[in-house]
Structures are given as structure tokens and as C-alpha cells.
């Protein structure tokens, strides 16, 4: 562990109440680590408090500024600047226990994993501590969809407490901009066959005066929308195949009266339905063809990614 370079990534947006405590807690556990705090366009004293904390306690690290709003934008900037063997990402709101970072890092090293996720949900503490209505429902929906798509058995796909290998970070393009980051990380690791493991951790809600930046309704819509788009990108045959089946069923339902007319009278009286059925059948064929083509493209992309990993220099 002492020979490994560790980077602690702390994206922060208006966290003046908790940023100092978070930095010191992780510094206590990882005094050799380099800290990268990213002020994500905060309007409070987050930046100055973080800078003062690093300087006063002689902590190795830097406070970066990212004006583009969104957690993913902040983390992307930190990943670009930080250079380490092990990367620790956590929220700057004291909700994740710093003392449990050793479990995550230990698993990453001993089991040669690429990503270790702090699982908040298995022990049931998150549901007791979290005060946001319907938030747990949204988590469960996302996890269920991911497990269905990839045949996985994940329990907490949206945890913000993660430890990464250098190989994962240097082969992971951050494409999202907001809090969908954790979903994107999880899906990237599953699709590209990175070694991932979840380890149960404790969790506590934000302290008094610290306000969550999440909105259950709007953010829930964004998560589901993001999942659907990733469904299309990662599993195109499933996505367009499903649309093809829907169009096919609709075509059969619309064309049934026209078929009955022809069988009975050798004449089609429901001409509009016959035209509609023909159009829907064309749409079904097109969706199936698109899905097949994109499935092939996706397979080629995964092949090229595997070649890229073989050329990756771990040093």
C-alpha cells in the first residue's frame, strides 16, 4: 500500500459545511494520498475552505475549479489531472465512512479488481438514514433494469463511494455530465467486462444544514431516460428488437380486419387499416434491421476495446 500512489477524488458543489471534515477524515486514513478536490461552480465558501484545509494541514493535493455544472464534469476533470495507481472517489458530504476505505482498497488489490463499489443498501442502513421520499424506489428501479440487461446481481449501482484501478480510469471515457456518472461507470464496467465487486459499507445522512442537490422527480426522470439511451447504445438488438415486436403486433392487430375481409369476401373493405398494417410491418422490419446492424457495430467496438486493453501500459 505504501508503494502505491493513491488519488482521492472529491467533487464538491456548495459543501462548505462538510468539505473540511471530509478531507480530514480521508487524510487520517490515507495520509500518503494526493487529494483532488473539484469545486463544481460553488456559490459558497467550498473552494476557500478546501484550499485552507489542504494548506493548513500540509496535505498533498490541489483544488480544481470546474464551471460546467454536473458531478460527472467535475470527476472528469479530476481524472484528467490525477495520476495514480489507485483512485478513490467519494462525495464531499460526510455520508460515506472514510474508515472503510481500507476494505475497498484491500479488495481491489488482493483480488485484482478494476472497480470496488461501497454498497450502501445491503445492510439496510441507507433506507433508514436517507430522508428523501421515493429515492430508494428510484435506486431499486435502476438496479433492476441494469441487472436485467446484463444478467448481473448488483445491489447498489448508484453508490458514489468507489475505488478504481489505473487500468479502469485510463480506459474509461466520461460521457455523461451530471449525477448519472455512477450508472455510466457501472454499465461501462459490465459491458467491457471489467472486474467489479460490491462491498457492504455503513452510511449516514447529511448533517443538519447540509442540503442534497438531488430532486427526486426531475432526477428520477433523467435517470430513467439515461437508462433507456444506454439500453439503446449497449444492447441495440434488444432495444430495436423490442420496438420491432411492438410494431409487428400492432401491424397484426390493425391488419386482422382486412385479412378477415379478404378471406370472407375476397375483397378488402377496411382499406385504411390495411394501409396502416403495411406501414407498421415496414417499421417492424426497419427496427429489426437497425438493431442487427448496430449489434454488429457494438460487437466490433468491444473487439477494438479489448485490443486497446492489451496495449495498455500499467506503469
- pLDDT tens digits, one per residue of 80-131: 999 999 999 999 999 999 999 999 999 999 999 999 999 988 876 665 545 5
* pLDDT band of 308, cuts 50, 70, 90: confident
Position 62 scores a pLDDT of 96
How would you label 65-89 residue by residue, b for 16+ Cβ within 10 Å and e otherwise? ebeeebbbbbbbbbbeebebbbbbb
228 & 270 share domain: no
* pLDDT band of 142, cuts 50, 70, 90: confident
Q: How many domains does the chain have?
A: 2
273 & 241 share domain: yes
Residue at a domain's end among 180, 200, 234: 234
How would you label 268-295 residue by residue, b for 16+ Cβ within 10 Å and e otherwise? bebeebbebbeebbebbeebbebbeebb
Mean pLDDT for the chain?
Answer: 88
182-186, 189-193, 220-224, 300-304, range with the lowest pLDDT:
220-224
| Beta-carbon count within 10 A of 250 CB | 17
110 & 29 share domain: yes
- pLDDT tens digits, one per residue of 237-278: 999 999 999 999 999 999 999 999 999 999 999 999 999 999
Position 204 scores a pLDDT of 83
- pLDDT tens digits, one per residue of 213-230: 555 566 667 767 777 777
290 & 194 share domain: no
219 & 124 share domain: yes
How many degrees, rounded to 5, is the angle at CA 16 between CA 13 and CA 18? 95
Return the CATH number at 187.
3.90.550.10
Q: What percent of the chain has pLDDT over 70?
A: 87
Position 87 scores a pLDDT of 98
Classify residue 43: in a domain, yes or no: yes
Position 274 scores a pLDDT of 95
pTM: 0.83
Classify residue 1: in a domain, yes or no: no
Rounded CA-CA distance 22/97 in Å is 9
163 & 219 share domain: yes
Classify residue 129: in a domain, yes or no: yes
* pLDDT band of 180, cuts 50, 70, 90: confident
Domain that holds residue 155: 6-234
Classify residue 246: in a domain, yes or no: yes
Classify residue 273: in a domain, yes or no: yes
Classify residue 315: in a domain, yes or no: no
68 & 206 share domain: yes
| Beta-carbon count within 10 A of 153 CB | 8
Mean pLDDT of 31-56: 96
For residues 90 and 8, the answer to whether their CB atoms sit within 8 Å is yes
Residue 231 has pLDDT above 70, yes or no: yes
Secondary structure element (H or E) that encloses residue 272, with its range: helix 271-310
Position 271 scores a pLDDT of 94
Residue at a domain's end among 178, 205, 234: 234
For residues 203 and 94, the answer to whether their CB atoms sit within 8 Å is no
**Torsion sign over Cα 201, 205, 208, 213:** positive
230 & 240 share domain: no
User: In sequence order, which ranges of 132-270 are alpha helices (DSSP H)?
Assistant: 135-150, 166-169, 181-191, 216-234, 236-265
Classify residue 160: in a domain, yes or no: yes
How many degrees, rounded to 5, is the angle at CA 199 between CA 37 and CA 119? 65
210 & 263 share domain: no
69 & 173 share domain: yes
Secondary structure element (H or E) that encloses residue 11, with its range: strand 6-12
Q: What is the DSSP string of 29-97?
A: H-TTPEEEEEE-S-SSSHHHHHHHHHHHTT-SEEEEE--S-SHHHHHHHHHHH---SEEEE--SSS-S-
164: phi then psi, degrees, rounded to nearest 5? -125, 155
20 & 149 share domain: yes
Residue at a domain's end among 216, 234, 252: 234
166 & 72 share domain: yes
Most confident of 54-63, 116-125, 145-154: 54-63
Amino acid at each position: 500500500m505504501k508503494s502505491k500512489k493513491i488519488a482521492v477524488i472529491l467533487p464538491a458543489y456548495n459543501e462548505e459545511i462538510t468539505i473540511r471534515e471530509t478531507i480530514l477524515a480521508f487524510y487520517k486514513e490515507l495520509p500518503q494520498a494526493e487529494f483532488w478536490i473539484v469545486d463544481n461552480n460553488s456559490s459558497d465558501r467550498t473552494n476557500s475552505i478546501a484550499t485552507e484545509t489542504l494548506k493548513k494541514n500540509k496535505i498533498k493535493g490541489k483544488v480544481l475549479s470546474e464551471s460546467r455544472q454536473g458531478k460527472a464534469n467535475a470527476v472528469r476533470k479530476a481524472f484528467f489531472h490525477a495520476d495514480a495507481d489507485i483512485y478513490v472517489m467519494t462525495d464531499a458530504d460526510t455520508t460515506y465512512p472514510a474508515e472503510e476505505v481500507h476494505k475497498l482498497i484491500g479488495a481491489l488489490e488482493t483480488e485484482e479488481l478494476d472497480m470496488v463499489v461501497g454498497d450502501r443498501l445491503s445492510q439496510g442502513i441507507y433506507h433508514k438514514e436517507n430522508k428523501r421520499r421515493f429515492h430508494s424506489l428510484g435506486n431499486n428501479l435502476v438496479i433492476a433494469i441494469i441487472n436485467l440487461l446484463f444478467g448481473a446481481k448488483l445491489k447498489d449501482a448508484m453508490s458514489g463511494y468507489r475505488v478504481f484501478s489505473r487500468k479502469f480510469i485510463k480506459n474509461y471515457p466520461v460521457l455523461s455530465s451530471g449525477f448519472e456518472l455512477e450508472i455510466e461507470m457501472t454499465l461501462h464496467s459490465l459491458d467491457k467486462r471489467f472486474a467489479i465487486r460490491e462491498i457492504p459499507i455503513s452510511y449516514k445522512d447529511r448533517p443538519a444544514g447540509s442540503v442534497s442537490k438531488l430532486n427526486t422527480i426531475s432526477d428520477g426522470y433523467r435517470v430513467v431516460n439515461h437508462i433507456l439511451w444506454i439500453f439503446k447504445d449497449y444492447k441495440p438488438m434488444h432495444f430495436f428488437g423490442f420496438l420491432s415486436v411492438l410494431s409487428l403486433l400492432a401491424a397484426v392487430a390493425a391488419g386482422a380486419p382486412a385479412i378477415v375481409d379478404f378471406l370472407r369476401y375476397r375483397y378488402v373493405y377496411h382499406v385504411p387499416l390495411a394501409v396502416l398494417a403495411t406501414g407498421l410491418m415496414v417499421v417492424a422490419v426497419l427496427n429489426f434491421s437497425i438493431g442487427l446492424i448496430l449489434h454488429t457495430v457494438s460487437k466490433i467496438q468491444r473487439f477494438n476495446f479489448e485490443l486497446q486493453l492489451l496495449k495498455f501500459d500499467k506503469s
